[in-house]
Amino acid sequence: MSPFSVTRTLPEDATAAALRSDVLNGLSNDPKQLPPKWFYDARGSELFEEITRLPEYYPTRAEREILIERAPDIAAATRARTLVELGSGSSEKTRHLLDALTGLRAYVPVDVSESALTLAGEALLADRQELSVHALVADFQKGLALPDTPGPRLVAFLGGTIGNLLPAERAEFLGSVSALLSPGDALLLGTDLVKDEGTLVAAYDDSAGVTAAFNKNVLAVLDRELGADFDPDDFDHVAVWDPEQEWIEMRLRARSALTAKIPALDLAVTFAEGEELRTEISAKFREESVRSELAAAGLALRHWWTDGEGRFALSLAFPAEVERA
């Protein structure tokens, strides 16, 4: 049997149907909004990789620093034989965990992109012949059924991606992950931390304009996939810190009054001058808030690690029943 397999739990047309639903609902709302997952077509993914190398964008470097330093501690605390990575993408950062988890027998990357999973899986197997890769083409927010792999299992959700979910969505997601975990399993969670407004806004509105291009790329996705006639030049990129919610919002602000047509949805969307379309939230966290949200999902935070500047955190949590035993 090949050590690499791909299981598709999403219907072939699921992505197109989800896009149509999200655009119809989001652009009919007041205020208008779109979920950030639609940034990541091929061009959007390229732009995001460029963002991660910008001097203003610290999260990727900070998380990598923690992984490099703490991967042996994570391995010792979990003794994982299966690593499940949600939203795995290229699996680049995961290599630090794979190197440290010496007892690992199976890797389960989960992503909506089958091509990304295949490329990452083949690259990992090139120098890890003992590892079985069971890739899942799935949406981690829609509920997961994991393959039968040896425990203990470590579920990793890195990159601060949980911050893109609204509080109710985070609660539902953490509850669904908790339901997957057996005694001895663990969740490794990456969270960006609350810090000064200047640092946060600069990370989402860089001087080179790469994040602006990334934000506007969602309009190109709508044009290509739904036949829309958005012109990215009609919008300004905006990044705003909301101190009450403790999250960054990325928005697209109409430079003048306009109407965009989306033929695939038989929809015409009007914008007033200065009206904004929210394309992303990126929540920032404190240790006590992470601990509280994990506890509400039945998970107990056992380890909390930050980078040297306290910008980003990795937390390791276990089913609460294990903590009480």
Domains of the chain in start order, with CATH, are 1-221+286-325 (3.40.50.150)
Place of tokens 């609902």: 25
Length, in residues, of the chain: 325
Residues 258, 272: Cα–Cα separation, whole Å: 7
Residues 9, 250: Cα–Cα separation, whole Å: 31
At residue 322, the pLDDT reads: 47
Residues 52, 25: Cα–Cα separation, whole Å: 30
Residues 187, 57: Cα–Cα separation, whole Å: 25
- pLDDT tens digits in sequence order for the chain, 325 residues long: 457 788 877 777 788 899 999 999 999 999 999 999 899 888 888 899 899 999 999 999 999 999 999 999 999 999 999 999 998 665 677 888 988 999 999 999 888 777 777 777 777 767 777 788 888 888 877 778 888 899 999 999 999 999 999 999 999 999 999 999 999 999 999 999 999 999 999 999 999 999 999 999 999 999 999 999 999 999 999 999 999 999 999 999 999 999 999 999 999 999 999 999 999 999 999 999 999 999 999 999 999 999 999 999 999 999 997 444 4
At residue 91, the pLDDT reads: 62
At residue 255, the pLDDT reads: 98
DSSP-assigned letters across all residues of 149-193: -PSSEEEEE-TTGGGGS-HHHHHHHHHHHHHHPPTT-EEEEEEEB
Residue 209 tokens read as: 């304009």
Output the CA torsion 169→175→181→187 (10° steps): 50
Instruction: Find out whether the peptide bond into 36 is cis, omega within 30 degrees of 0.
Output: no
Helix intervals (H) in 227-319: 287-296
